[in-house]
Structure 1
Amino acid sequence: MSEKKLIVPLVREPKAKKSKPARNHLLLSLKKNDLELDFQCH
C-alpha cells in the first residue's frame, strides 16, 4: 500500500517540473512532510 503511494509521485514529478517548477517544489515539500508523517506513524 505505502509502496504504491511512493511510486505514483515519482512518476508524476518530471511532467510537473517542465510546466511549473515553483508548484512542483511546493508539491515536493508536501510529499516530504507526508513521508515524515508516515514514518512517525510506523
Structure 2
Amino acid sequence: MCPRCGKDKACIGYRTSAVLDFVPAHFVVIEEQREKLACPR
C-alpha cells in the first residue's frame, strides 16, 4: 500500500538479477525476478 494515499501499488515492471553459483564440475545461473511497485496516482 502507498503510505501517502493508502491505495494498493501497481506492478510497473520487473527487476531481474542473476547469481552465478559454482557447483562442482559445472556452473549454474540462478535468475530471479522481483516486482517493481509504484503508486498508480
TM-score bucket (shorter structure): under 0.3
- Relative contact order, higher structure (CA 8 A, sep 6+): 2
Q: TM-score scaled by structure 1?
A: 0.22
Greater helix proportion: 1
